Chains A and B, each alone.
Chain A
Amino acid sequence: MYMPLLLPALIVYVVLFIVPALYGMTLSFASWAGLGSAFHWVGVKNYVDLFTSPVFLSSFWNTLVLTAVVGVAIFLVSCGAMIVLRSTKGHSFIRSAVFVPYIISPIAIGLSVSFLFNPKGMINTLLGLLGLDGLQRPWLAPENILQVIMVGLTWSAAGFYVVLLMSAVDAIPASLYESAQIEGANLLQQFRHITLPLTRDMISVAAVLWVIAGIKTFEIIIAFTGTAGTPPLEARSLAVEQYLRVTGGPAGGIPQLGSAAAIGVIMTAITVVLILLSRRISRREALEM
């Protein structure tokens, strides 16, 4: 009797989510430039070509670096918050305020942050005023841009994870912290022996959510580099590389739908592997504790 309630969503999900996903997987074994052009089955050629292409490998590497580095940065920031935020005055205000960048469009984040880092922008001006001219850089030049993007991404995402993990900290009975204080445990020890073990599940959830989000990083890179030009190789993520192959790139090249579909499959595979890995790691930490 619940079926009429379930069926509409289930049908939409199967027809417009599962079927397209399988269709995409099938297309990754074909060579095609789109409707109206020649279609060939090519087997695993797209995958072989991708893994021998320096352009693809660099976007593959960039995506892993970006996901790992920003993930670690977010984890450290969240740990800092979990150590002191409970006992900080105005903690609910702090939570609301650090969450704000997360609700801002990544395009707007990218445009504003890249404006701060432009050659005559605020960052270089401030470094000059502080007498740190040696640290001034052409931040948006290809060799530096990925680092700046990672800073922007950490800024925009970290608040979400802080709020998520703090909700797990809130669920810990206050009496545990009180008795730890009576026994002379300082904040770091309380974190190590109470907070960390008891928020393990949420840390694992947060890691999974970050992996899902980090692998598909796209908008902020496009905003940093603009749609007019092709993002430099140093800043290309898998999502950006795929976008260029789907559209044929800004130069009006021929779309490479087969290899773009293969990138989609590879990204799904990396996401699943990283999710399993982060679950495994958080479980092992649990055993050690």
Chain B
Amino acid sequence: MSTVPRIGRPSLSAALSTFVAFALKASLWLWVVFNLAMLVWIFLNSVKSSRDIFAHPLGLPTTWHWDNFWTALTTSGLGVAALNTVVLVAVSVAVIMALSVPAAYALARLGGRSAGPITSLFSAGMSVPFQAFAVPMVLISVGLSRFMVEWITGAWDPRITVAIFYVALSLPFSVFVLVGYFRSLPSELEEAGALDGAGSFRTFLSIMVPLAKSGITTVTVLNVLGLWNETMIVLLLVPNQGMQTLNVALLNFYSDMQYTSDWGGLFAGIVIVVAPMVILYFWVGRRVVSGMTEGIGK
């Protein structure tokens, strides 16, 4: 072991470095404590009376107002909004995956001149901000609704338009990450499948999809997270309050606060929006996070 340190003088800089390291570690733990405290604080506020929230901001509720959740779900319309959100997210994510998984597999395996440019075409979409679509989206939504009402079905639901754009705008990211996944899988298995006489579609369904399960789970969960928290598309396309999603309902709830002052109910609403995603994260979170960082890094 060499006794002459090659880099830096030990005494002063070592002491400084120890101090910096200690300070950084302490700050990281402080950050962790703050995050957990915020979750607990939001939860406690959701079961307090509005007076308690202001009089005892840090204490336990004097009486536990579980009825805040009931008020939020019924009177403030978060129940309907929750149903809208669940259906919208479930349908959109199902379609996104049904489109992007086969496409990503094809792009990963399609040799030659076409695959590269098409993959780039998809990933270029990731750098187009949502705002480039705001105006066309509003016009297409109005036009589509008129067209369907006057010519085809006689009725139209703006939530369908929202789902259509959810799918379209989620494709670039989903395809990009999944292509990376499929590329990392060995191709020997498909060759074996082909020798056994399985067609490319059979090979894809029965061999590649199970192999790419962790990547597919990651992308599914990330899409669920993203669309669950989406607000602007619904704000722009859905004027009818009964058809809006949780985040927009929460904003409406907040706008009514000057008349209702139901702060306990507002925090109950926040818990209703946040809790499903926190549960999802603690259920599949770690796997998803590692899958995501792998996928992005590629």
Contact = CB atoms under 8 A, between A and B. Distances in A.
Interface of A: 1-6, 8-10, 12-13, 16-18, 20-21, 23-25, 27, 34-35, 80-81, 83-85, 87-88, 92-101, 103-108, 111-112, 115, 120-122, 125, 159, 163-164, 167-168, 180, 182-189, 193, 201-202, 205, 208-209, 212, 215-216, 218-219, 222-223, 226-228, 238-239, 242-243, 246-247, 257, 260-261, 263-265, 267-268, 271-272, 275
Interface residues of B, number: 103
B255 A187 contact: no
Contacts of B168: 12-13, 16-17, 20
Contacts of A107: 229, 231, 247, 250-251, 273
A3 B54 contact: no
Interface in B36-93: 36, 38-39, 42, 54, 57-58
Interface stretch (B103-111, B151-159, B212-220): B103-111
Contact of B201 (A4, A257, A260, A268): A4
Nearest to B286: A96
15 contacts: A5-B106, A6-B118, A9-B99, A24-B132, A25-B132, A34-B139, A84-B25, A87-B21, A107-B251, A168-B297, A219-B232, A227-B252, A239-B232, A246-B134, A268-B127
B204 A185 contact: no
Given A35-B139, A111-B254, A227-B252, A21 B28 contact: no
Contacts of B17: 186-189
B235 interface: yes
Most B CB within 10 A of own CB, among A13, A83, A272: A13
B134 A103 contact: no
A8 B129 contact: no
B103 A272 contact: no
Nearest to A262: B135
B195 interface: no
Contacts of B138: 34, 246, 257
A8 B247 contact: no
Contact of A96 (B14, B107, B143, B285): B285
Given A35-B143, A246-B236, A100 B35 contact: yes
Contacts of B129: 212, 215-216, 239, 264, 267-268, 271
A5 B201 contact: yes
Given A9-B102, A9-B175, A228-B255, A184 B10 contact: yes
Interface string B124-152: 01111111111111111011001000000
B132 A21 contact: yes
A24 B135 contact: yes
B136 A21 contact: yes
Nearest to A259: B135
A63 to B, nearest CB: 11
B251 A35 contact: no
Contacts of B229: 104-107, 219
Contacts of A101: 35, 38
